[in-house]
Structure 1
Amino acid sequence: MSGGVASDGGFNPRLIAGVVAIGVIAFIALWALIALGPQLSSGNDGGGHALSKAAPGYAGIVDLLERSDAAVDLRRREEAPMLEDPELLILTPGHTTKADDLARLISEQRGGAVLIILPKWRTGRHPSKAGWAGGGFASAPSPKMLPPAAGRIDKIGSEPNARGAQAKGHLGGSPMALTLPNLRTQVLNAPDLETMIAFPHGGAVLAKQPDAAIYILSDPDFVNNLAFSSRDRARAAAILVDAVAEDAGAYSVAFDVTLNGFGSQRSLLRFAFVPPFIGITLCLIAAGLLALWQAWMRFGPALKPARAIAVSKAALIANSADLIKQARRELDGADAYVRSQRSAIARRLHAPDGLDDAATDRWIDKHLRVGGETFSALARRLPLARNTHEFLADAQALHDIRKDLLRDSQ
């Protein structure tokens, strides 16, 4: 057996308090991260969105536009802010994005300019490098991913082109020529849309809805991080975005990231951790901590409920006296009280046998000090008491005589 000293108790109060405190803090932090996680995330996950620094992402064009003193916003909410100047909203959907999600964001723009950059690359996360894209391949999206508001698109496909070929058109009132980045380019065929920049062999690289300021860029390699492999392509990407904004009459650019899972949608859980409701949440947390502290710092053991009727002679006497008082029968016990005092004194002082009550009273009087109240006088007067005050006074006098004669406190 171990020779260590046994602990005084089964648990250490400080240790238990620490465990409870850590549990409460962890619980609150968990729900806060669940509510605010998408909004606080850096987003550098290798995907195709404005927060990603991987090849299919758009962090490069965002950084370049900011360095060019352009007004750029990363929008994490579906609701468009109320702005004085028009804004170009850039949507970067993925292959699994639904048409209803795109339609909702276009509707929230309230007629403002929208640029939809179609997805092209299907990639995974790099197994060892965080923020890098893993092995990927080009895959054209389905035309059904676009909502009816964007116009009817017949086909989105990959088309071959000669090295160094250019896609030409007019944008923002000026001619535009884009050098095709690869030997194959993703092109859309949409007869109902206005071709802004045409592919050399037919189809459109950039098209516009005739009845709305909705632009569709078929190949993301013109503006994504792959375009920043050279200075010329990076400059062309910035010129393309600036030309679309100029053609739409927009003064600022906003990149949406809600389609890629980094939005802060409306939810009661999120509202609990943002102004103005964060104050109520903090008050509730403080109230819970105070309740926990009160339970922890309770003084002494828990109080047990007392018996309705105490178990003792004193309790029995008190209960009996209370019953007599409630029945208003205090004066009816005078004769019994006199007999009990007479009997106790006669027995203790060994009074002669055969004495009646009057003779016993005179015998007791002989043992009293001269000049005081006699026992016989009190015994006659007590049953004739008219109220409780007279009764208590004479009863106390009889009790004092008994104390003097018997030298006890009964």
Structure 2
Amino acid sequence: MSASTAHDAGFNPRLIGGVIVIGIIAFIALWALIALGPQLSTGKDGGGHALSKAAPGYAAIVDLLERAGADVELRRQVEPPQYDDYTQLAILTPTVRTRPEEMTELLEAQGKAPVLIILPKWYTPPTPGKAPKPGWAGPGIPGMPPSRLLPPAIFGEVDLQTHEGSQPGSVRADLAGRTVDVAVPANGITVTGDAIETLIAHPAGGAILARVKERDLYILADPDLINNLAFASRDKARAAVSLIDAIAEDAAADGLAFDLTLNGFGGGRSLLRFAFVPPFIGITLCLIAAGLLALWQAWIRFGPSLKPQRAIPVSKAALIANSADLIKQARRELDGADAFVHSQRSAIARRLHAPAGLDSAATDAWIDKHLPPGSDLFSALARRLPLARNTHEFLADAQALHAIRKDLLRDS
């Protein structure tokens, strides 16, 4: 087998590294999209909310209000921001699938801030046999909004009615000290109740726009007054903006906030979402960077590879070290005192050519004669070392003997 064939059969490190990097990026992006998907959605689903450009949506009035200089916010969280000297009119656009507990939670979260509830009217099922177009609504079927969207604990007992067969018309009403012309749509929906008061009445009876008596909670029973369908003509568009402006002025609001949480575009509470939003996004980025650095360190070797070494090195120093370790593990350090003294005595006597035939005591006395005055005597250390009671005393006397040998023999 040639060298080129063997190389082609192996893995390409760059290719494998690229696959790993792409996999890591895709994994992080997947979790980020799962956490932030509702907030990143464009809202092109044909529904009745502030992002929708279909007939039941409210994107047209949002755009027109922004062009007119109004302060408009698309709110994606249940808890509104709190300001001391700034009030927003929260505009809720529930659907027929909105649960009462969702409405109650959202209304309680607003506190004392004014709220406008726009009830749903149109059912837009998909056309049978046709694929839905992105952002388009299906055929519109007018229907009665469910009364559960107005919780009795807040609105009391309310009655919703549909005036089927009613023709489009115009109603003039006084609201917030101004005269408002309202274009009443066909098949209008009205609301009545003991706990609410009528602000704009329908010609056939009931209220198109009502308000709770004890709180700034407004109910717009028919959404065709301000949705995209109302922007079929210039006059209806002007009337829609005037109506919203009058409601905001009546509520003493400084800005408008269209809620998107009831339509599925809010950022819910979750640990996964918190990891990708301030202030925890910094910790997430640090963890990602640490993981990438650890992967890079594992992938790239710094310096030459370490050669495996012998478990027991081959040298005199290694032999001495191993012997010392064995003596230490056996706790027999003090047993070598006599041997150490004998080795030091023999080395000094041999190197200094001591007279032959001397015993140990005579040799120690002969060595003492070669020591400078005032220094420790070799004979005293030789007698004291075997009597050491612990390793500290043994080490001190052994070092003193070694120092005498080094001074006399001029070596280490």
TM-score (norm 2): 0.72
Shift of 1:33: 2.1
Q: Which residue identity lines up with residue 67 of structure 1 in the other structure? A: R
Change in CA separation of 1:110 and 1:310 when aligned onto 2, cut-off 3 Å:
same
Is 2:144–2:161's contact at 8 Å kept on the other side of the alignment? yes
1:99 partner amino acid: P
What residue number does 1:152 align with? Answer: 156
Question: Aligned-pair distance for 1:213?
Answer: 0.7
Give the Cα separation in 2 of the matches to 1:257 and 1:223: 17
Q: Residue 302 of structure 1: CA displacement?
A: 7.4
Matched, 1:109 2:110: yes
Query: Compared with structure 1, are the counterparts of its residues 6 and 221 closer, same or farther at alpha carbon in structure 2 (3 Å cutoff)?
Result: same
Residue 176 of structure 1 deviates from its aligned partner by 3.8
Match of 1:294 in 2: 297
Deviations 1:240-291 (A, max 9, x none): 1111112222232111111112222343333322333322222222211111
- How far has the Cα of 1:159 moved from its partner? 1.5
Whether the 8 Å contact between 2:199 and 2:210 is mirrored in structure 1 is yes
Name the structure 1 match of 2:373.
none
Alignment-derived partner of residue 57 in structure 1: 57
Letter in 1 for 2:67: R
Distance 1:161 1:125 in 2: 25
Which residue number in structure 1 is paired with residue 287 of structure 2?
Answer: 284
- Name 2:224's counterpart in structure 1: 221
Q: Residues 9-408 of structure 1: matches in 2 within 5 Å? A: 10-81=10-81, 82=83, 84-124=85-125, 127-148=131-152, 150-167=154-171, 169-182=173-186, 184-299=187-302, 307=311, 327=336, 329=339
Give 1:339's aligned residue. Answer: none
**Cα contact 1:324–1:330 (8 A) shared by 2:** no
- Alpha-carbon distance change, 311 to 161 in structure 1, aligned in 2, over 3 angstroms: same
Q: CA deviation at 1:18?
A: 1.2
Contact 1:125 1:131 in 2 (8 A): no
- For residues 127-180 of structure 1, give each alpha carbon's deviation from its aligned partner in whole angstroms, at most 9, with x where no partner exists: 353211123422322212222354124432322244233445432234444232
Paired residues of 2:132 and 2:138 also in contact (CA < 8 A):
no
Shift of residue 207 of structure 1?
A: 1.1
Once residues 124 and 15 of structure 2 are traced to their aligned partners in structure 1, the CA distance between those partners, rounded to angstroms, is 48
Change (3 A) 1:87 1:378: same
TM-score by length of 1: 0.73
Name the aligned partner's letter for residue 64 of structure 2.
L
Q: Shift of the alpha carbon at 1:227?
A: 0.6
Shift of 1:28: 1.9
RMSD of aligned residue pairs (Cα, Å):
4.0
SS of the residue 1:6 aligns to:
helix
Does the 8 Å CA contact 2:180/2:242 hold for their aligned counterparts?
no
Counterpart secondary structure, 2:6: coil
Tell me: CA distance 1:385–1:120, structure 2 relative to 1, closer, same or farther (3 Å). Answer: farther
Displacement of 1:101:
2.1
> What SS does the aligned partner of 2:163 have?
strand
1:70 is paired with a residue whose SS is coil
Q: Counterpart in 2 of 1:400?
A: none
Give the distance between the partners of 2:282 and 2:73, measured in 1 at CA: 28
1:90 positional shift: 0.7
Shift of 1:228: 0.8
| Offset, 1:313 | 11
Unpaired runs of at least 5, structure 2? 344-349, 365-381, 383-400, 407-412
Matching residue's letter, 2:80: A
In structure 2, relative to structure 1, the CA distance for the partners of 1:297 and 1:246 (3 Å cut) is same
Q: Distance in 1 between matches of 2:267 and 2:305?
A: 49
Q: Give the aligned residue type for 1:178.
A: V
SS in structure 2 of the partner of residue 259 of structure 1:
helix
Q: Could you say what secondary structure the match of 1:141 adopts?
A: coil
**Bigger Rg, structure 1 or 2:** 1
Give the fraction of aligned pairs with identical amino acids, expressed as a percent. 55
Conservation of the 8 A alpha-carbon contact between 2:180 and 2:239: no
Distance 1:320 1:111 in 2: 86
Judging changes above 3 Å, is the alpha-carbon distance between structure 1 residues 83 and 134 closer, same or farther for their aligned structure 2 residues? farther
